[in-house]
A and B are shown apart, each in its own frame.
Chain A
Amino acid sequence: MNNLTKRIESAKQKWEVFQKNEEPIIYIGAASCGRAAGAVQLLAQTNRWLKENELTAKVVQVGCIGPCYLEPLVDVQMPGQPRVSYNNVTTKTLPVILGSHVGESVPYTKGAIGHFGKEPFNGIPRFFELPMLKPQVRIVLRNCGLIDPEQIDQYLAVDGYQGFMNALQTSPDDVIGVVRRAGLRGRGGAGFPTYKKWTVCRNAPGNQKYLICNADEGDPGAFMNRSLIESDPHALLEGMLIAGYAIGASHGIVYIRAEYPLAIERLNEAMQQMKDYGLLGEHILDSAFSFDIKVKEGAGAFVCGEETALIGSIEGKRGMPKSRPPFPAISGLFGCPTIINNVETLGTLPNILRNGPDWYNRFGKEGNRGTKTFSLVGKVRRQGLIEVQLGTSLREIIYDIGGGLQKPFKAIQTGGPSGGCLSEEFLDLTVDYESLTAAGSIMGSGGLIVMDEDTCVVDLAKYFLDFTQKESCGKCTPCRVGTRHMVEILTKITHGEGSAEDLLALRTLGDTIKKGALCGLGQTAPNPVLTTLRYFRNEYLEHIKEQRCRAVVCKDLIEYRVIKEKCTGCQSCVKVCPTGAITGPRSEPHNVDKTKCIKCRSCYVTCRFEAIAGDAIVIGSVEKRS
């Protein structure tokens, strides 16, 4: 332990020097989202710019701070001044920002979104006072975007591994007691009390036990776990040490999706640093506790997020769920007692062990303690990764944090393919495990997808069922056959060929699958259909009775038209049409050949944003001759 204490001391000193910053620091948000928005190019450009201008600065790649819609983010901190964040930086604006702020020491206030200082600074708002950030409570995400994820010293400097050291000073049973009093529930979806399964595993006979971190993040449209691992990998790894110690495991495995290469790289690097610091391996910090961690890449199967399927996959088999009991906590990986916890559950542990259960109890509400991270995406203005106390209302999340929508709100999907689609009347629902379940949805792992009037809920229900049907492992009949039937019916309806009986059939099938399926995949698969049937019945009926899709999404029910009076004949749309469906000489109204049109929206987008007319092309319901 002594060795680490020394290292922490020197890490803290290093951090202080770093914070005082004698030379300029340039931070580039380079998690996957930042990179997708162009951070890699900006990084290279920054280095070139410094060289050309013969200036020096520390260039640091940080993780994701949350407001992904502002990506790419580049921050500048001059000696003795607060760090200033610039948003939506492009290769054109970057030299302007650097020239002003680094070159002349004058913050480029026009492009700045926020600063991280305590005092007012040049009229720039404080970053954490921004409307998107202010209502948030950042516990799991506390370091994201603020420290360099590749440096264990920075993690140590902000009290990293303190929680684990506290745990080591007490008995495993005490650690379980702390987690019980904190009221922590699993963040992977079901919200099962973490201490309960730990207790079962701890008391299970056997001297070989496993801890598995579920980083499969199967919900398509959610990225909380990716972001945490990329931005603060040690938080997860420290959580694994704590959990491993509590349940008496000697081996840990991170089961992570192969689609997350950067997260995998960060984990491997972080684990190497832990080994160098004596935090992984035999007799960690000279205690009796030995623990190793391996990373296993998933191979692209949603069902492998389910515990028993995940175990099968690690054993080298097809990822098929098994009926339970026996529960993995008694007999899991290779028949040994095994605990599977989600990334966020584990990432929360260091904070609980560092600050105590009473502190954690201050957040959230009775029965739903603490915070939850969400990926807030879809049609909200401010998209990104957020963390709020459990018990926050959907309205606060969508409007206060997310900044509302451009068009009127239609629906929000929580819980991914296993969850439900809630309508406007649920906006004041508080986000907690029980309320969401009562509404027919689930908390899930944290995907929140906001939709406006341009989303067709029937198409959305079909999308989800198509997803679960393809991902169904095929072991049990209700799921394998039932979901296929549901997709067929939904397809019929979106083609305008449905009947009123189909709605009844969907209900019956949905209820049957929920009751009869073997695992959580099937048991929750009908939720998107059942909730949309309940809350958006009219839209189904419009498709059936009027062959009308009000969101103009269902391709068989819509057509593209040129408004002759508005078309200036600029030919912009002609150039982008991939099938040559649009024709017409310059300066004369164009024509859409409906037999060739594939309804790809290219012309529509072009006309709206890049042509003179702006709204000469419309998408509307197929006009019926009556």
Chain B
Amino acid sequence: MPETVDAILVKHSRRPENLIPILQDVQKELGYISPESVKDISRYLRISENQIFGVSSFYAQFRFTRPGRHSLRVCLGTACHVRGGATVLDTLENVLGVKCGDTTPDARFDLERVACLGCCALSPVVQIDKRIYSRVAVNKLSELLKFYE
């Protein structure tokens, strides 16, 4: 989809400090940073692809593979850790049969961890797409996933 990347680029001036906002917009649009988009950004900002990879790989936010249909993020902040966040992640890894950071073979879920969603008082917390589920119970996870196909 080269048109969408172009449309994003023209919204930003050709200054190197716009690299991160451009990458963020591309990821919002495509769901990930595709190899083609890196080429387009490189040409536009006149910085090397290597430099772009250097910057983007530094930040946890950016991904380089096509995402699954739903993002499933388990909070592993301290409050969630103390209230069983790690167990939630272990269980999800088992139920879905993938490791944290991977996409399920049927592309249904991306299983990821997140440092804190700011809902610490309602921990443990899981985010599926845009919705945050609070006080999740390990024995209810499978039921929760049923809402997402």
Contact = CB atoms under 8 A, between A and B. Distances in A.
Contacts of B138: 600-602, 605
Contact of A259 (B17, B118, B120): B118
A465 interface: no
A417 B84 CA distance: 18
Contact of A258 (B61, B79, B95): B61
A33 interface: yes
A220 B76 contact: yes
A314 interface: yes
Contacts of B115: 218, 220, 259, 300, 302, 467
Contacts of A532: none
A2 to B, nearest CB: 37
A449 interface: yes
Contacts of B135: 37
A254 interface: no
Contacts of A296: 20-21
B82 interface: yes
Interface residues of A, number: 67
A417 to B, nearest CB: 8
B122 A449 contact: no
Residue of A319, A578, A600 contacting most chain B CB atoms (<10 Å): A600
Contacts of B1: none
B81 A69 contact: no
A473 B60 CA distance: 12
B139 A576 contact: yes
Given A33-B119, A455-B82, A318 B55 contact: yes
A449 B78 contact: yes
Contacts of B134: 33, 36-37
Interface string B118-140: 11111101000010111101110
B116 A220 contact: yes
Contact of A221 (B77, B84, B139): B77
Contacts of B77: 220-221
A319 B58 contact: yes
B50 interface: no
A298 to B, nearest CB: 8
B139 A300 contact: no
B119 A32 contact: yes
Contacts of B36: none
Residue of B21, B77, B115 contacting most chain A CB atoms (<10 Å): B115
Interface string B6-26: 000000000111111101100
Interface in A367-385: 375-379, 383-385
Interface string A406-437: 00000001001100000000000000000000
B84 A300 contact: no
A317 interface: yes
Contact of B17 (A258, A299, A316, A379): A316
Contacts of B2: none
B62 to A, nearest CB: 7
A223 interface: yes
Residue of B24, B80, B114, B139 contacting most chain A CB atoms (<10 Å): B139
Q: Interface size bucket, B side?
A: 35 or more
A449 B81 CA distance: 11
A36 B120 contact: no
B117 A600 contact: no
A605 B138 CA distance: 8
B24 to A, nearest CB: 6
Interface in A206-223: 217-223
A315 B121 contact: no
Contacts of A315: 16-17
Interface string A567-605: 000000000101100000000000000000011111101
Contacts of A297: 21, 24
A296 B24 CA distance: 11
A506 interface: no
B54 to A, nearest CB: 6
Interface stretch (B64-72, B86-94, B101-109): B86-94
A226 interface: yes
B12 to A, nearest CB: 11
A227 B80 CA distance: 18
A35 interface: yes
A385 B44 CA distance: 45
B20 to A, nearest CB: 6
A602 B141 CA distance: 10
B139 A602 contact: yes
A220 B78 contact: yes
B114 to A, nearest CB: 7
A375 B77 CA distance: 13
B120 A377 contact: yes
A341 interface: no
Interface string A214-246: 000111111100110000000000000000000
A222 B120 contact: yes
A316 B58 contact: no
10 closest Cβ contacts across the A-B interface?
A221-B78, A68-B121, A220-B77, A299-B59, A300-B60, A383-B121, A220-B116, A300-B61, A316-B17, A223-B118
14 contacts: A36-B134, A69-B122, A219-B78, A221-B79, A221-B80, A259-B115, A299-B23, A316-B17, A377-B120, A378-B82, A449-B79, A451-B82, A463-B81, A599-B90
Interface of A: 32-33, 35-37, 68-69, 71, 217-223, 226-227, 258-261, 296-302, 313-319, 375-379, 383-385, 413, 416-417, 447, 449, 451, 455, 460, 463-464, 467, 473, 576, 578-579, 598-603, 605-606, 610
Given A36-B125, A315-B16, A447-B78, 10 more contacts: A36-B119, A36-B132, A219-B78, A226-B118, A258-B61, A297-B24, A299-B59, A316-B20, A378-B78, A417-B78
